[in-house]
């Protein structure tokens, strides 16, 4: 994954994958029932083929992970568990439930979402928006609570809307207590950022 993703400019670079892997391991310390091999493999492979860069194909990631694990001679039971986690990890719009079916999926989903909030999360959002040619902010464009994955995928709103459409809600969607604790602190930082951003936007000294 390091070889494949080093230098990827879209926010799904190796640095993101590495942080999710390290955070999943950190969160796992408080979930002794979690299988470390499954958790770490899913964290490392969760962005192997993102739908956003594969024509909206949501099965591209799970399929690519399965195919790579097969080349490594992994057992079918392990492959199936990792594939399911990758299918469950992604955010699909504010109005779309994203339940997890295992403790390992909870850890990886929390770790991935923690990397979308806080200082790094703010940087990633604007990097993604820049990559897509989006405005930083436009007060005339109201945030939308996307209630289908299709409408979330087709969204082209200014980047500040993404805070209201996703980032400021992630704290309340943590599955693990350890994830929630990290999220609280990052959320507070992000709220301060948005307040300062809006004040500066209107030319406040
Ligand atoms: P997830 O990690 O839940 O699968 P994504 O793959 O959708 O989330 O997002 C990857 C990164 O890109 C995150 O940091 C996310 O906040 C950011 N991102 C996704 N969509 C947008 C958007 N419309 N505007 C700004 N940032 C975005
Ligand atoms: Ni990710």
Question: Ligand 1 in contact with 159 (CB < 6 A)?
Answer: yes
Question: Ligand 1 in contact with 92 (CB < 6 A)?
Answer: no
* Band of pLDDT at residue 204, cut at 50, 70 and 90: confident
Protein residue closest via CA to atom 23 of ligand 1: 162
What residue numbers bound the domain in which 188 lies? 2-201
Q: Which tens digits make up the pLDDT trace of 65-105?
A: 999 999 999 999 999 999 999 999 999 999 999 999 999 99
The C-alpha angle with vertex 175 and arms to 27 and 118, in degrees rounded to 5, equals 65
Does residue 69 contact residue 78 with C-beta atoms inside 8 Å?
A: yes
Of the bound ligands, which one is closest to the alpha carbon of residue 15?
A: 2
Q: Which tens digits make up the pLDDT trace of 163-172?
A: 999 999 999 9
Q: Residue 80 Cα, ligand 2 centroid: separation in angstroms?
A: 19
| Average pLDDT, integer, range 118-146 | 96
How high is the pLDDT of residue 205?
Answer: 81
- Total domains present in the chain: 1
Residue 186: name the closest of 23, 13, 10, 21 by CA.
23
Question: Average model confidence (pLDDT) for the chain?
Answer: 93
CA distance readout (Å), 198 to 77, 159, 181, 191, 203: 50, 13, 27, 11, 9
CA distance 59 to 50: 9
**How many Å separate Cα 95 from the centre of its chain?**
16
Does residue 157 contact residue 134 with C-beta atoms inside 8 Å?
A: yes
Question: Ligand 1 in contact with 179 (CB < 6 A)?
Answer: no
Residue 85: name the closest of 56, 60, 107, 58 by CA.
107
Question: Ligand 1 in contact with 11 (CB < 6 A)?
Answer: yes
CA distance 188 to 190: 5
How high is the pLDDT of residue 47?
Answer: 92
Q: Which tens digits make up the pLDDT trace of 7-63?
A: 766 556 899 999 999 999 999 999 999 999 999 999 999 999 876 666 677 889 999
- pTM for the model stands at 0.94
Question: For residue 184, what is the domain's CATH number?
Answer: 1.10.3210.50
How high is the pLDDT of residue 9?
Answer: 60
């Amino acid at each position: 994954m390091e070889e494949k993703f080093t230098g990827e400019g879209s926010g799904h670079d190796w640095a993101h994958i590495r942080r999710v892997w390290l955070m999943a391991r950190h969160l796992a310390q408080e979930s002794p029932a979690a299988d470390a091999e499954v958790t770490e493999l899913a964290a490392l492979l969760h962005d192997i083929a993102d739908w956003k860069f594969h024509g909206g194909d949501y099965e591209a990631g799970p399929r690519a992970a399965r195919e790579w694990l097969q080349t490594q001679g992994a057992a079918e039971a392990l492959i199936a568990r990792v594939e399911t986690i990758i299918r469950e990890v992604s955010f699909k719009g504010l109005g779309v439930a994203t339940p997890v079916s295992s403790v390992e999926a909870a850890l990886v989903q929390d770790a991935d979402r923690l990397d979308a909030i806080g200082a790094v999360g703010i940087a990633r959002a604007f990097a993604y928006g820049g990559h897509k040619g989006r405005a930083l902010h436009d007060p005339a464009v109201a945030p939308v609570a996307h209630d289908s994955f299709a409408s979330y995928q087709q969204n082209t709103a200014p980047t500040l809307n993404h805070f209201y459409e996703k980032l400021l809600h992630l704290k309340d969607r943590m599955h693990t207590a350890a994830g929630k604790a990290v999220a609280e602190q990052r959320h507070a930082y992000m709220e301060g950022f948005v307040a300062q951003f809006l004040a500066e936007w209107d030319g406040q000294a």
